[in-house]
Structure 1
């Protein structure tokens, strides 16, 4: 987790990497998105995807898991170095979510976030507003998910 002043427009961070297995794809989809092409190998072969693939929500949830882990690692590193840690930051949401390619069994997705815009909040001067473009890219270099997010980040000084 960083302070608003520590985020530069254009900076990009790899948040983490996740390898999708058959069992986890089926387990997630069974609970949250039980489409036949997410839970049944034979049905998936007959679908427009041609093989078992992860739910888009599973792909998005793994982005969030990597984001949270990345944030927590940053907090631990800052505390270990005796540096101040910003307060938790709320998010007003995201937009432009697109699932661009299916994520198949065996795919490894690298998740990243790039700062696109930032501004000081007019109504809450203790906070800055950061807009980021977030992506997931498979092992072949294909973009599989992208979306824009907005978050409040605590300012180091007001």
Structure 2
């Protein structure tokens, strides 16, 4: 289902958007890690037991990539998700068989003084697992445009 594109005028502080769900298997965690973040706690269950994580954990960058996939489907900003910065934290590890979803909430809208057709929109994106535990928190600044 294609969602209606959202323009700046469609957004208001407090709006929330919930994504679809995404199942993260041990196999997906290891494939991503072997290519992009090859550390024992991301690549090997038995070696991961003796690490800080006490078991296999997804790379934070894998969680971020899943978040982006879910965000693009749940926050259909006209002209796309165009980032202008942000802060990311991982309060707890993402584990094999976690079922992730993203809850995005608009925290602030800052209209541009020099470009009246656009604004910076501050969005808090929480990536939660099936127990509603926050695995990642991203507070990001996105560019949004008025309808022409």
**Given the two structures, how large is their TM-score scaled by the length of structure 2?**
0.90
Structure 1 residue 89 displacement after superposition: 5.5
Taking the aligned partners of 1:87 and 1:147, their CA distance within structure 2 comes to: 21
Aligned residues: 144
Structure 1's 102 and 42: CA in aligned 2 closer, same or farther, altered over 3 A? Answer: same
1:93 aligns with 2:97: no
Structure 1 residue 112 displacement after superposition: 1.6
1:5 equivalent in structure 2: 9
The SS at the match of 2:65 is helix
Structure 1's 48 and 87: CA in aligned 2 closer, same or farther, altered over 3 A? Answer: closer
**CA radius of gyration, larger in:** 1
Taking the aligned partners of 1:12 and 1:88, their CA distance within structure 2 comes to: 17
Taking the aligned partners of 1:42 and 1:87, their CA distance within structure 2 comes to: 45
Structure 1 residue 94 displacement after superposition: 1.2
Alignment root-mean-square deviation, CA: 1.6
2:98 equivalent in structure 1: 107
User: Could you tell me whether the CA contact under 8 Å between 2:127 and 2:135 is conserved in 1?
Assistant: yes
2:107 equivalent in structure 1: 116
Unaligned runs of 5+ in 1: 76-85
Unaligned runs of 5+ in 2: none
1:16 aligns with 2:20: yes
Taking the aligned partners of 1:24 and 1:89, their CA distance within structure 2 comes to: 24
Structure 1's 40 and 2: CA in aligned 2 closer, same or farther, altered over 3 A? Answer: same
**Given the two structures, how large is their TM-score scaled by the length of structure 1?**
0.84
Higher percent of residues as helix: 1
1:147 equivalent in structure 2: 138
User: For 1:8-157, what aligned pairs fall within 5 Å after superposition?
Assistant: 8-71=12-75, 74=76, 86-88=78-80, 90-95=82-87, 97-156=88-147
Taking the aligned partners of 1:122 and 1:35, their CA distance within structure 2 comes to: 46
